[in-house]
Amino acid sequence: MYHGSIFVLLHTKGQHIFEGATMQEPVRVTLWNIPTWAAIFMYASQAMGVLALIYGLYRRFRLYFQGKPDPRLNNWPRRLWNFLVGAVGQMRLARQTKPGLMHALMFWSFVVLFLGTVLATIDADIAEHFLHAKLLEGWLYRFYEVTLDIFGLLFFVGLGMAIKRRYIDGSVRLSYEWGWSVFLVSLFLINFTGFIIEGIRLQVMAPAWASWSPVGYVFGAVLGAFNLSETALRHLHLATWMTHSVLVAVFWGILPYTPIAHIFTSPLNTIFTRADDRPQALRPIPNMEEAESWGVGALADFTWTQLLQFDACTECGRCQMACPAWNSGTALNPKHLVMDIRNQMLAEGGMPYSAIGGFANGYTNPTVQPGAALVGEVIRDETLWACTTCRACVYECPVFINHVDAIVDMRRYLVMTEGRMPDTVSTALRNLERTGNPWGYAPSDRMKWAEGLDVPEIEEETEVDYLFWVGCAASYDNRNQKIARATVQLLQKAGVSFAVLGSRESCNGDPARRMGNEYLYQMMAEQTIGTLKKFRFKKIITICPHCFNTMGNEYKDFGGDFEVIHHSQLLADLVKEGRLKPEKPLNETITFHDSCYLGRYNGIFDAPREILASIPGVELREMERSRERGLCCGGGGAGVWMETHNNKRIEQIRLEDALAVNPNTVASACPFCMIMFDSGSKVMGLEDQLALRDVAELLAESVGVNTTKSGEEESEQA
């Protein structure tokens, strides 16, 4: 494949090199058959293309700095690791085998061919001109030629896979605007003409080392079959060479104005993405007391790194396919959300966001135009309220885009600045302010779940190993009260030193934060932290993964540095230590549902499964979507309190996942999941077919603990 040079035009020593068809020692031929005027044209066109590239990228990059400052020069070891894993290693892309292989072939081939061009430039323009020597000769040149030919062939394979996937197989998740077609066709023609150029040169020169360029050799042999004269081949070579040069120059020039700008922005985003120790924690609003508006209502309210994130989108649609809200037919499509914000940024900056980039798969958003309101017009309210904050989109994104933080930022604007929210959200927030729980139950009823149990309440003068944080759902919801009772009785049976706050416990603020009321959250967080600091304990136990995440990860920003563990972790440890002995066989086929806030947020997948594996007679069957790819129940991000108008509710989709593996019990480890599944099971008529149980309840039964309230019928709470 051809790689050009500039200084060789002025260096007479190079003349015999690119006319040396009879030479037997392998050496790279520079500008063979290329007259001076053509070489000058090539360098001029490439210079124009590169200048257009630099100018286009400048126009694009300057748009990011309308955003707020966000220092990202810390923790360089982790940033380098993210770059190596995400950009260089393509590890997130490799999670899906075929698309990952396709992209890896194209990416690595592109990199190798580009580096080959750089090396050829060094050989001709530096080594020849200044050192009067050749780098690419002998064994190094043989290796160079065979390597570039192989990667050029692999590039064809990757392009073929991309074209087949996009235009033959088709996919609802892909973008089909013509910028992608321009990109694929350009790369194909550049690669194809490169091999034509090489093939003609080998056919005319017939060097002894021609077989070290295997693909070019085949191209040359095919051309040779047409019995063209040497003059005709030389004319064809020059014409193809000129075409190749123009294609490359145009490719560089239009690149910043197409979706393919992500080859620059995506690697940058892997470097400047969040690299702190708690990436799952939402960030507080800085200087909240002094601010005149809160949250994100305009592009300038985002940080510069968030604007970079949106521009890094590759439009692959992985977030879309993983999103429970999109799968259930809501207004939220995380891919379109990112594209809309990006396109609004480009429109405001005068970039041709639709001329070549366009919109995806027939999707258009006519509100994307200069002057449009970001929240309310470009991004509709119902889009933001559909999010369950499950982070499936964040996990799947190969370029480290954080959709959830952006959505919560815009919710903050709706709630705190505009006062716009669904009625059910408004009610839940009022309940949190009045009663300390989102359902509005009396604080005096918080300990009713423990009736008949000897549950110790912590005192200032005593010290315990564990403070059991019961949480609002397990305190008030009848179904989840049984989980709290099972957990307490297991702790008592194992001889664990623990206590509860009792009526002093109040919501830790997580629902308020996810709903967008950061002010209320911070008030509740500071109140809870102040209460907790009055007592002496080593660790906090939670049943609720949402409480676990908030108190373990997010309280640290407000001085609450507590060690928090989930009840499944402690119970699994107690079984391992022999302090709990599950002996009664349950003879159940169980599938386990991974809570988003326990699994994707905090990486706890094994502890609940270890509990189930320890119970005699349990057969554990995994759903197709499990562990990191587990589908949300629909309860997160205020979903428990939202009235939805989906095609199908998220919890019903998840229960269908469970039914596919034919269990008789769905196990979970989250009160919100239990609430959602209990509701979905009734709607689907599955009460007699499918049991819904927490891992603590299953363990308690096998250990021999009775968790029901004596003399009281169980009733469901609305």
Which has the closest alpha carbon to 549: 390, 331, 363?
390
Whether 395 and 450 map to the same domain: the answer is no
Q: Express as a percent the part of the chain with pLDDT over 70.
A: 92
Residue 423 lies in a domain: no
- Alpha helices by DSSP H, listed for 291-440, are 304-311, 318-322, 324-327, 334-348, 381-385, 392-396, 403-412, 423-435
Q: Are residues 587 and 466 in the same domain?
A: yes
State the residue range of the domain holding 254: 7-268
CB 179 within 8 Å of CB 258 = yes
Distance CA 254, CA 190 (A): 15
Residues 240 and 330 grouped into a single domain: no
Report if residue 597 sits inside a domain.
yes
Are 673 and 593 contained in the same domain? yes
Same domain as 229, residue 83:
yes
Is 274 contained in some domain?
Answer: no
- 3-state SS class at 137: strand
The per-residue pLDDT for 364 is 62
Q: How far apart are CA 149 and CA 213, in angstroms?
A: 6
Query: Percent of the chain at pLDDT above 90?
Result: 70
Residue for token pair 């995806």: 360
- pLDDT tens per residue, range 143-156: 999 999 999 999 99
> Which CATH number fits the domain that encloses residue 185?
1.20.950
Give the per-residue pLDDT at 24: 59
Q: Say yes or no: 367 and 445 in one domain.
A: no
Q: What is the number of domains present in the chain? A: 3
Average pLDDT over residues 263-284: 91
Band the pLDDT of 363: cuts 50, 70, 90: low
What is the pLDDT, as a whole number, of residue 279? 85
What is each CA distance from 470 to 365, 481, 718, in whole angstroms? 45, 9, 20
**Domain end (from 418, 440, 465):** 418
190 and 218 belong to one structural domain = yes
> What would the mean pLDDT of 328-344 be, rounded to a whole number?
93
Residues 6+ apart with CB under 8 A from 286: none
* C-alpha span between 709 and 592 (Å, rounded): 26
Query: Is 281 domain-assigned?
Result: no
Q: Is the residue at 22 inside a domain? A: yes
End-to-end CA distance of the chain: 71
More confident site: 218 or 717? 218
Does one domain contain both 375 and 485?
A: no
The arithmetic mean of pLDDT across residues 612-638, rounded, is 95
The answer to whether residues 447 and 344 belong to one domain is no
Same domain? 504 vs 373: no
- pLDDT for position 27: 81
Task: Tell me whether residue 667 is in a domain.
Answer: yes
In this model, does residue 21 exceed pLDDT 50?
Answer: no
Could you tell me if residue 587 is inside a domain?
Answer: yes
Q: How many helices (H) and strands (E) does the chain have?
A: 27, 8
Q: Other CB atoms closer than 10 Å to residue 619's CB: what's the count? A: 13
Determine, yes or no, domain membership for 424.
no
pLDDT tens-digit map of 94-127: 898 898 999 999 999 999 999 998 898 888 778 7
pLDDT at 287: 84
Chosen domain end from 248, 268, 288: 268
| Cα–Cα distance for residue pair 280/319, rounded to 1 Å | 17
DSSP string, 90-131: -TTGGGSHHHHHHHHHHHHHHHHHHHHHHHHHIIIIIIIIII
Per-residue model confidence as pLDDT tens digits over 649-692: 999 999 999 999 999 999 999 999 999 999 999 999 998 899 99
Same domain (yes/no): 322, 456: no
